[in-house]
Amino acid sequence: MSYYILMGLGIAVLLAFFIHYLIKFIKHKSLYPFMPFKYNFRRRRVTFAKTLELLSDRKAKTIIETGTSRKGLSATRGDGAGTFVFGKWAMQNNAKLFSVDIDKDAVQECKVEVENQNLQDTVTVLLDDSLNFLANYKDQVDFLYLDSYDYSRTDTAIQIASQEHHLKEFKAIESRLHKDTIVLIDDCGLPGGGKGKTVVSYMEQKGWKILIDAYQILLVHNDSL
């Protein structure tokens, strides 16, 4: 009798392990084979994948990211590690990525990882206010990734400040965008509308079209469609 109970318990434990790892596997959103399978991009996978496809289709050469990957490549689930995803794409496609951040520790952390990933000839990490950097940037931009001023799920004042900052970023660089420019905005699917709420409304009035509206919002110009 106890033999059957032990066997039943054993099977139940094995089954629980199996289900646990099956759920983990299903929830794991990798960008494999572009990035190693172990990296989980979760809610950004769909928009990152489409952006990578567009970057290749449109032969992007210049990428700007506001808000750098302050935790290196380890934060694919949290911040997204965009500097390294798009930096890797840029390296493989002879493009350049400029990532600007106002926080010196974030810049320092990111620079270390840029070296670790051997991206130093492709990715430039700059310490500056994004608004200042964008206003002084003189070349055309093929891909703009807006992901700076940290958003809050609960604090309305921070939500509005973040939304206004991302609108200002867009306006500061707008004259450097062209009909094939790709724009991605992070942290949109959040209470209060996320980082993109104000800037996306403005962009839509200016002829931009939403391609994907998920956790991130991906836009291209109507003239490119």
**Residues in contact with ligand SAM by the rule CB under 6 A:** 65-70, 75, 79-83, 100-103, 106, 129-130, 147-150
Q: What does the chain come to in residues?
A: 225
* Minimum CB distance to ligand SAM smaller for 43 or for 209: 43
Rounded distance, CA 59 to CA 115, Å? Answer: 25
Judged by CB, which is closer to ligand SAM: 78, or 207?
78
Instruction: Tell the smallest beta-carbon distance from residue 189 to ligand SAM (Å).
Output: 14
**Of the two residues 75 and 210, which places its CB atom closer to ligand SAM in the complex?**
75
- In this structure, the number of other CB atoms found within 10 A of the CB of residue 63 comes to 25
Whether the CB-CB separation of 39 and 76 falls below 8 Å is answered with yes
Residue 186 Cβ vs ligand SAM, minimum distance, rounded to whole Å: 6
Output 122 or 148, the one with its CB closest to ligand SAM. 148
Residue 184 · residue 195 · CB < 8 Å: no
Q: Minimum CB separation from ligand SAM for residue 67, in Å?
A: 3
| Least distance in angstroms from the C-beta of 138 to ligand SAM | 19
